[in-house]
Amino acid sequence: APFNLTDTSGNYRYNSLIIRKDNSQIRNTIIVRGGEYIGSQLTTEIQTNGVDDIFPLPYKFTDFGASLTGETLSIGIDNIDDADNFDALYNFQEKILKFKSSDTPSANKTITISGKPNLPVILRYRSNSDIASMVSVEGGDGIYEFLIKDNSIKSREGALQRARAEVVAYAQTLSEGEFVTETSGLIAGMSIDIQSATRGISETYIINKVVATQF
């Protein structure tokens, strides 16, 4: 800007300067809940009891396979394939493996399941430097937490990028103000320094609007 504001500059009406601080949008700790991503190959085991013919699975598996005490099972798709044509049926959405009641595994058998688990994207990101800044200004723990739910985020890397972008945009206190001046030359987009010892202000602002009034 062609001029800046101080307590003695005389280029604005001193009592017209108003500075407002807004912390309502601060976000320095971000939790991202995204969609799902396909993890690395996983193998796990389930012990049978001779009674159950439906077995809950820990995850939704891609490239699913199963064996019963070392013998590979032929796996069909539940609600699509005929159970009579397969050893068991797999339900991806419900995360279960189903046997016909007549084929219920006997007790003390081991079902080995394998596949690539579909894992939920959950990430918590903290900006320690911004949290420390809020502690120094306000006291307390300085944490301003915000939750993002976005099923289009399919990886931890994508979640981290989204969290960092959110912190960059919202980690600092929003500071805005206004003043009246009879000195011309200010336009939107200019930066202007305000140095006021009496108000405890030493900051640079971006002018986003100039309203001209004739008296």
Express each pLDDT in 118-139 by its tens digit: 999 999 999 999 999 999 888 8
Q: Is the pTM of this model over 0.85?
A: no
User: What would the two tokens of residue 135 be?
Assistant: 């502690």
pLDDT given at position 173: 83
Q: Does the pLDDT of residue 102 top 80, yes or no?
A: yes
Mean pLDDT of 40-48: 97
Percent of the chain with pLDDT over 90: 89
pLDDT given at position 206: 93
Report CA-CA distances (Å) from 72 to 58, 66, 95, 97, 112.
20, 6, 19, 14, 9
More confident residue, 31 or 169: 31
Residues linked to residue 19 through DSSP beta bridges, in sequence order: 177
CA 102, 108, 113, 118 torsion: positive or negative?
positive
Please give the pLDDT value at position 83.
95
How would residue 215 be classed by pLDDT, with cut points 50, 70 and 90? Answer: low
Model confidence at 31: pLDDT above 90: yes
Residue 142 CA to residue 26 CA, distance in Å, equals 10
Q: Give the 3-state secondary structure of residue 27.
A: coil
Beta carbons of 197 and 175 less than 8 angstroms apart:
no
* Residues 50-77, mean pLDDT to the nearest whole number: 97
Torsion of CA 7, 9, 12, 13, to 10 degrees: 50
| Dist CA 166 CA 25 (whole Å) | 11
CA dist 64 and 49 (Å) reads: 22
* Strand ranges across the sheet with 191-196: 5-6, 191-196, 201-206
Q: What mean pLDDT, rounded, does the chain reach? A: 94
The whole-number average pLDDT for the span 85-99 is: 97
Q: Are strands 54-56 and 96-98 parallel, antiparallel or unpaired?
A: antiparallel
User: Averaged over 179-206, what is the pLDDT?
Assistant: 93
